Structure 1
């Protein structure tokens, strides 16, 4: 009899925990890497199918005019987590793997907003925002500051990107699998004595690199990386395991939040589809688009694993899921993996109807997939052309949670929670875009102004049009989404108005 009573109490306790968690929505941001607007079948891709992501769109809102703040990864991630444009702070462009933390630890951040509201917060996947405060970083002990100091209770990451050393997992800011007798050292200038590099030993590579782009340093798993590394042999991961490990860690974090009877905020920064594209073996050769297509399938699979995990735990209905990307697409970005050739042969257009791509000032650089699902509050199958920016997630969720942002603390983030959840058509008055050379662009009322700048019109190594020009550029995105006709000469007053607005925002 006692066993029955205990079992009933345990069962009641589990249900009570779930009920308590469900009082407030869980929040999951699935942040992918280098995924273009046209890479998803729900956005028009014909050569490849992304059924799990499509299901998010079918059950939520698919935004067609959403923007990352930059066309490269570090500044976009900085803006999403800090609520501030990255160009306001020096040193926030693409970081090397041994960079120090660029997000100040004394400011309000998106995860800190959730902490203030009583959430358990976690970061899983790619980080690329720097670690520690001293150079060189000591990878052989806990590295601080890091994710914890910017608001994450738990983190399981790799430090930068998969094509940069150190190629290790870090859990709560400590390197996994490290042996004291084999400490890690990292250098971004010269190889260590006896180190095998892709440049010196191309015969060891299972994925050839493009010699123009610097992926010929330290060899891990038969792939050359940017930078040089010594030691930590048992700590190095293999590319094929990344998706499985990160999925498991994401679900484990969710389970831990249930044990704590608290709602969760999870920033799941999927490493796909960034180079080097080396999918889990079960996905190799499964698409028609080379390894880039294969890792797109793996990315979609990861979304399915996490969504099924939410469903199995009874959390799907009251979890807000946001799916997006840090910047636009790139085909050849350092490795010769047939991505450009297969896309051309099958007319796959990763940027959709938009011009440019990663690094670019043109629209494909920052106009990214953006889907919001919340079954408890959002009717499925909606589409929205509202102008939205990832920088607004901090203020929007602060408003949802009734967390007041400090009055004296400047941020660029604004509350558009009602727009993100489909209850309003109100959209941003303007968005600012940051290309790789930081010559800013601004969009307002469908008009886009590109600041004059120096630089090549075409980035030859990646075959992407940059949008760089020494002349003013103005495009009517409503009539000319492909940015083919420069109207700056025809509408000089509009150019001056947008230029003045941009200068005003920059001076804030």
Structure 2
């Protein structure tokens, strides 16, 4: 029996036996980094970056080697996590610049709302990036989507990670803060856990670090610990990841100090793959690594969507487990909801699968493959599905578009009216770098996955929102 399956079965059994007592239910702590690559952590094989706290977290739980984000770019990835749906399906197609009409709508089913409905307290700490009109009554804010307490920025920490000035706490601007963003965010989450959160209630905390997204700033004392980094900006990047690791360590220490360790399911991950060096003027410090994967941020290949994924629940998830089971941030909503006893409204088109259903060591059975769509991905590859070992990538007929330039007028047709001209099939277990297209050798698998891909694409785009038409 797969050790992970047994561990999660034990986790689910323990949760369900006490689901009627709120103070005995699991707490949920999700930590998400920004642009952290699959190969950026020491425990994922980086030869230089030191991440002792995340190494420890992996040693205490499960380290997923096939953990996926919901999208290869920030806003859709975050929208997918909180809704459990393919981001295209909820109308979040690309990163959201300030002032954009695009946002997660108030009518969407969200993870914090579901958990609140069964007595959880909910908190958001860090990068939000699920609306363009941040801290404005014109669009839903974190509290409108289920967060009781929020300390957040619309997009990146500004003017950089050092002493950011753009945080908002529960609708009120905070002003200048002292320190580096990940430490500021961790300190706020610690304050909430220690001083604000009602100890008689279970909690859901979403901690979304800005690191290591540009514009990067790192403590000098950590930069100096990487004297062998020779490329411009390389030591800054390495120190940035190490600083984030220290913030994780601080947060985990507080969880232990508050005696929350054994009843808190911790999930650590990233919103997408690493930024491409020098893609834009300020990206000169972006030395992230996709490890052995093809592509990086903004790619539909695995370098854009396969990310670090670590989960810990002492005594329930066996320590030191490594699993290649394909899982995704879309799975968090159905998993947490089931463990908490929250009922998902009928008709909700979830794309994630509940991992809590692995009772008695049963294998996770997805009703449909994992699915990704990003219309501004690098190259012609815009859509993909993964089912078990197999991944199918779809190439479109629209030629090149500027990657990562945000949704704008005229883009609606690129979401609704495209055709796919070719497909690529990869066996990710045998070919993690997606180098060998096997559609000619396995036409039956390619045909099956093509049918699933096109059906899901049609479903995801059926009610696509033209945000500029709505605004006008």
Same fold (TM over 0.5): yes
The aligned counterpart of 1:37 is 38
CA distance in 2, matches of 1:338, 1:375: 40
CA distance in 1, matches of 2:451, 2:404: 33
Q: Is the 8 A contact 2:94 2:404 kept in 1?
A: no
Q: Is the 8 A contact 1:147 1:155 kept in 2?
A: yes
- Say whether residues 1:72 and 2:15 are aligned partners: no
Give the one of 305, 319, 327 matched to 1:380. 319
Count of residues in Structure 1 that have an aligned counterpart in Structure 2: 409
Q: Offset of 1:241 from its aligned partner?
A: 3.0
State the secondary structure of the residue aligned to 2:266.
Answer: strand
State the secondary structure of the residue aligned to 1:369.
Answer: strand
Q: Offset of 1:425 from its aligned partner?
A: 4.0
In structure 2, do the counterparts of structure 1 residues 101 and 28 end up closer, same or farther at CA, with 3 Å as the change threshold? Answer: farther
Per-residue CA deviations over 1:367-402 (Å, capped at 9, x if unaligned) read 111111011412211111111111121111111112
CA distance in 2, matches of 1:474, 1:83: 26
Q: Offset of 1:505 from its aligned partner?
A: 2.0
- Say whether residues 1:52 and 2:53 are aligned partners: yes
Give the one of 156, 161, 179 matched to 2:156. 161
CA distance in 1, matches of 2:394, 2:59: 38
Per-residue CA deviations over 1:167-210 (Å, capped at 9, x if unaligned) read 6111112222xxxxxxxxxxxxxxxxxxxxxxxxxxxxxxxxxx
Give the one of 259, 280, 297 matched to 1:334. 280
The aligned counterpart of 1:451 is 394
The aligned counterpart of 1:147 is 142
In structure 2, do the counterparts of structure 1 residues 163 and 66 end up closer, same or farther at CA, with 3 Å as the change threshold? Answer: same
The aligned counterpart of 2:348 is 409
Give the one of 408, 426, 443 matched to 2:364. 426
Q: Summarize the alignment of residues 12-411 of structure 1 with structure 2, pairs less than 5 Å apart.
A: 23-100=24-101, 102-130=103-131, 132=133, 145-162=140-157, 168-176=166-174, 235=175, 240-287=179-226, 288=229, 289-332=234-277, 333-335=279-281, 339=285, 350-411=289-350
Q: Is the 8 A contact 1:416 1:427 kept in 2?
A: no
In structure 2, do the counterparts of structure 1 residues 275 and 422 end up closer, same or farther at CA, with 3 Å as the change threshold? Answer: farther
The aligned counterpart of 2:455 is 504
Q: Is the 8 A contact 2:39 2:46 kept in 1?
A: yes
In structure 2, do the counterparts of structure 1 residues 336 and 121 end up closer, same or farther at CA, with 3 Å as the change threshold? Answer: closer
Gaps of 5+ in 1: 1-19, 177-234, 344-348, 462-468
Q: Offset of 1:273 from its aligned partner?
A: 0.7
Per-residue CA deviations over 1:427-447 (Å, capped at 9, x if unaligned) read 545211234526210111312
The aligned counterpart of 1:490 is 441
CA distance in 1, matches of 2:387, 2:316: 30
Q: Is the 8 A contact 2:369 2:452 kept in 1?
A: no
Q: Offset of 1:424 from its aligned partner?
A: 4.6
CA distance in 2, matches of 1:370, 1:264: 21
CA distance in 2, matches of 1:360, 1:39: 17
The aligned counterpart of 2:430 is 479
Q: Offset of 1:286 from its aligned partner?
A: 2.8
CA distance in 2, matches of 1:497, 1:259: 50
CA distance in 2, matches of 1:257, 1:366: 35
Per-residue CA deviations over 1:220-249 (Å, capped at 9, x if unaligned) read xxxxxxxxxxxxxxx3557x5322221110
Q: Is the 8 A contact 1:275 1:335 kept in 2?
A: no
Per-residue CA deviations over 1:142-167 (Å, capped at 9, x if unaligned) read 77620001000000001112368996
TM-score computed with the length of structure 1 as normaliser: 0.74
Q: Offset of 1:317 from its aligned partner?
A: 1.7
